[in-house]
Structure 1
Amino acid sequence: MKKITLATTLTLWPIYGFAAVEFSGSLGLQQNYFLENPKFSGQKHNDSTEIVTEPEATWRGNKHSFSFKAFGRAGSEDDERNHLDVRELHWSYDNAFVDLNAGVNIVYWGVTESWHLVNIINQVDLVESIYQDEKLGQPMVNATFIRDWGNLSFYWLPVFRERVYPAVEGRYRTSPPVDNNNARYLRTDKSANQDYAIRYSHYIGNIDLGIHWFEGIGREPVLGINDVGNYLIPTYAKIRQVGIDLQLTTDAWLWKLEAIANHNLYEDYTAAVGGFEYTFFQAFDTDADIGWLLEYIHDERGESGSVFSRDVFLGTRISLNDLQDATMLLGAIVDKETRETVVKMEISRRIGKQFTLEVEGSLFSRARHALQAYEQDSMLSLRFDWHF
């Protein structure tokens, strides 16, 4: 009866169609273990127990829909890591001619595994992942026109979101730490700025193609020391960026490329990530698929502009294709000159119908250059989620 009442109420909206709101999400407990004592004064010790929640709600009518998704974390030793963010809160309208979206959303571009160069719409949620694969929700208006010759997407991004760095007491922080409260803007006004992007995407035979253009405030600030010398100050500036992402599928091979050219007030540069993934399907006469990944990262700015600038990524992806949906990703990024290495591990498995167990780990070796701030931050985390 509650579902019927809710569905009836929603039809009072000026939208044709009948629908009900669907609620879902997860509530989890995460335990973090750092393998070494903190490197810097003021950092908290090794272990922490955190609560993580990701509630979702969706409503779908005839061509119209509404989506909500949030992320929250509490219990961390790092005050900046204790946060709540709205990942999605948007209205959508879809038909055969155009897809419209308005509100807060996350847009994912790109094809590579190790580093995501073209994924520029959303700000990085750096307190969640130093690998920059977690994003903050971005207010936007988006229109995608669907044609036989490809999809053409337009983005208006009226609000800029600053990157949040770990606090003084947090792990994975810089030395000196970043001052999150006094960001500067070079020749631009945050409150009056308007960001825009255009993306063309299409598939041609076995090739998936994406080309984008972006103009606005760059999501990655330049960090400079303050007058006292005890904090780094992030400075944001306007940029123009063009980029391309390609994926060629040939049987068990996936050939991948992401490349950008960035024009800004500091230093124009180009960067690229490219490589392949080869999958052995039903390996060793089992249901398991085993994939091997090899990618090369190049950023002409060098270590002064990017943590990963001349690095090789080698990894494996294993999917057991069992009832528990067990998967594992294990990879290492190695600087080909300094031999600095970071090893990343992700394992996930369902337990019953409503629970999942995730294991993640990071190991830093020979961290004496671009990764020296993380030298003693090797860690292992266990996360147990209830899905409702």
Structure 2
Amino acid sequence: MNKKNELVRSIAVPVISVLAGLLLGAIIMLVFQYNPVEGYGAMIEGAFGRAYNVGEVVRLATPLILTGLGFSVAYTAGFFNIGLAGQALCGWIASIWLAMTFPDLPKALLVPLCIIAGTLAGALWAGIAGFFRAQFGTSEVIVTIMLNYTILYISNHIVRYVLTDNADATPKISPNASLRSDFLTQLSGGSRLNGGIFLALLMIVLVWVLMKRTTAGFELRSVGLNPLASEYAGMNAKKNIILAMVISGALAGMGGVVEGLGTFENLYVLSAAPEIGFDGLAVSLLGGGNPIGILLSSLLFGVLKIGGLKMPSVGVPKEIVEIVIASIIFFVGINYAIRYIMDKFAAKKMTGKGEA
């Protein structure tokens, strides 16, 4: 019975958070004299009105699935990997660099090589923070934030002075390195939907198997629950710290690969680390760290962000979408309050039955 109640709460908390975020967005629209019905109606039309829109929703959700999975692995092991953006950028750089270095390799060989290179780059960048945490007890939050800025400026230098001659963007990669396919493009009405979605779906399955059905996953979860007890039981805490961060960074690196080889097909000068890192963190929290929850949360973010582009057509600023997303994350962050209210309501209901 307790397991059933916990399952209900784990589903109810994100649902309530989403509804509360949408309600707060509606209230803000009313306060500033916008029509929330028209605003949300335009959002739905912008997300589902055409095949192109649906394709863009799924396209945007794809890297978020990967970065969200990356965050969930580290979080389950007890670490807050806020460096997903930098690790994704590492994957983006490595995949584009390799694609530009060997543009004439067969597609069946070049695409897997680029994916592997980007994955390893993300894993290596996250492994730096994992190593310092394991060996010296440094905060992975501080180290990963610093690494985000470090790779951002390295990336811009590479774009301007290594891959180009003082240009702000690299040339488009060859079709042999692209994740796009004519089938997906035609199916989605010309959107940028690409083969990265299949990679993301595969990772959902693999991460679930890793965390739920393997010894390594059991050790990662154990270290997250109680590192001292885990070490007393014979588990190598330092090894698991590094392993968790490496896996987390590898998944984030894949997200960057999808952006580089699928969405943009090049690398350009950035003013900030990629949004997919921070959005992936939010997606993971909203999805409760569960792979299926992360999939659904990523699609929700895709609907909000792509659909929100249509809101100005009815006079509602698209920035309202960011307020809604921030509100949803706020309510997820205070999930203990939602759970407290739910428990009080359940206790009151049981008391009422007892008195009857």
TM tier, smaller? under 0.3
Q: Which has the higher contact order (CA 8 A, sep 6+)?
A: 2
TM-score normalised by length of structure 1 = 0.25
TM-score for the superposition, normalised by structure 2: 0.26
